[in-house]
Amino acid sequence: MAARLQAIELERRIGAGDARALARAASLVEAQGEAGRQLIANLFPRTGRAAMVGVTGAPGAGKSTLVDQLAKVLRRAGQTVGIIAVDPSSPFTQGAILGDRIRMQDHHQDSGVFIRSMASRGKLGGIAKGTLEMALLMDAAGRDVVLIETVGVGQDEVEVARLADVTVVALTPGQGDDVQAIKAGIMEAADVFAINKADMPGAERLEQEIRAMQSLGSEEQRANAAPVRRVVATEGKGIEELWSVIRAVFEKQGRRGARAETWALRLREMLRDRLLGALPDELVEEHAKRVAARAEDPYEAVEALRLSLAGQG
């Protein structure tokens, strides 16, 4: 009973925009337990207000710097911000994570910017388990804009980036990021292209290449081509303009979170997390060994795993 009263009080404070309550709630959501799920369920009716903006791109493209600068622009305009940074688990980018922390310290005195980083699911980056829940929490807490930084531009991440209302793809010149290397999926997933590090040679050429590629699309594709903007994130150059473009796209296409097709994607993702999360790794590995040794066929293994889940339900 006391726990229930505490939960009600926490929900009330989150709804009132209390940053400390939000921090407590974020820890509950990260723990991925029943308390976090209950909280999101109860807060859910309050969601659907925030603009969710995904920023994706290769490691080192300047996503964190961009997010930091976008937050500054938003704060100057009096908007409250939530930031979710999905930390890659790759050892190669540990330094970048440290860099993120240092840079983001600018906002630490400001309760109008709430930052949370989450470990990514796989070595390839992508979205972290619980990212959607964290975004919903920030939305329920009244954050005007939720910025979500995710690493990688593979197919998986593209799908996930679609979960945001607007997806900004950060590219940089001279990193093999020429249009040949930009997979078709990314061209489609990007709502806005941010060519970062425009202080380096090749930015203009990269922009021309993207525009040339866009010009090959159908008439409808051409009419809806993602805007391309050159920015220098480290200097804050072009960021206000970038934000106004993001805002315009958001106003044009509306909230993804208000569409059933978006929720179909999200529900699949949540179901997958829930089911896989409930399967003990050892059990999966045990069956994997048997299948590898031809002692069991893969269908038998999947059926055994399914029955194990059903047994838990």
131 in Cβ contact with 86 (< 8 Å): yes
Tokens 């807490």 belong to: 141
Q: Does 59 bind ligand GDP (CB under 6 A)?
A: yes
Q: Does 61 bind ligand GDP (CB under 6 A)?
A: yes
The C-alpha angle with vertex 29 and arms to 112 and 90, in degrees rounded to 5, equals 90
Instruction: Return the residues of window 87-116 that contact ligand GDP according to CB under 6 A.
Output: 96, 99
State the nearest-atom distance from the C-beta of 186 to ligand GDP, in Å.
15
| 3-class DSSP assignment, residue 171 | strand
Residue 234 contact among Mg ion, ligand GDP, none, beta carbon within 5 to 8 Å by kind: ligand GDP
State the nearest-atom distance from the C-beta of 176 to ligand GDP, in Å.
15
State the nearest-atom distance from the C-beta of 171 to ligand GDP, in Å.
11
Among 72, 197, 230, 287, interactor with ligand GDP by CB under 6 A? 197
Q: Phi, psi (5° rounding) for residue 194?
A: -110, 110
The residue (of 60 and 217) whose beta carbon lies closer to ligand GDP is 60
Where helices occur in 175-297 by DSSP H, the ranges are 184-189, 203-214, 219-223, 239-253, 260-278, 281-292
Instruction: Return the residues of window 225-244 that contact Mg ion according to CB under 5 A.
Output: none
Q: Does 64 bind Mg ion (CB under 5 A)?
A: yes
The residue (of 201 and 277) whose beta carbon lies closer to ligand GDP is 201
Rounded CA separation 88/85 (Å): 9
| 3-class DSSP assignment, residue 165 | coil
The residue (of 10 and 170) whose beta carbon lies closer to ligand GDP is 170
Among 73, 124, 200, 225, interactor with ligand GDP by CB under 6 A? 200
113 in Cβ contact with 70 (< 8 Å): no
State the nearest-atom distance from the C-beta of 271 to ligand GDP, in Å.
30
**131-140 vs 2-15: helix crossing angle, rounded to 10:** 70
Residue 97 contact among Mg ion, ligand GDP, none, beta carbon within 5 to 8 Å by kind: none
Q: Which stretch binds ligand GDP (CB under 6 A): 58-66, 75-83, 111-119, 183-191?
A: 58-66
Rounded CA separation 63/309 (Å): 38
**Residue with nearest beta carbon to Mg ion:** 64
Residue 196 contact among Mg ion, ligand GDP, none, beta carbon within 5 to 8 Å by kind: ligand GDP
Q: Which stretch binds ligand GDP (CB under 6 A): 153-161, 192-200, 216-224, 297-305?
A: 192-200
One-letter identity of residue 36: G
Residue 235 CB: number of other CB atoms within 10 A? 12
Identify the CA nearest to 272 among candidates 57, 122, 148, 48: 122
Q: Note the residues at the interface with Mg ion (CB under 5 A).
A: 63-64
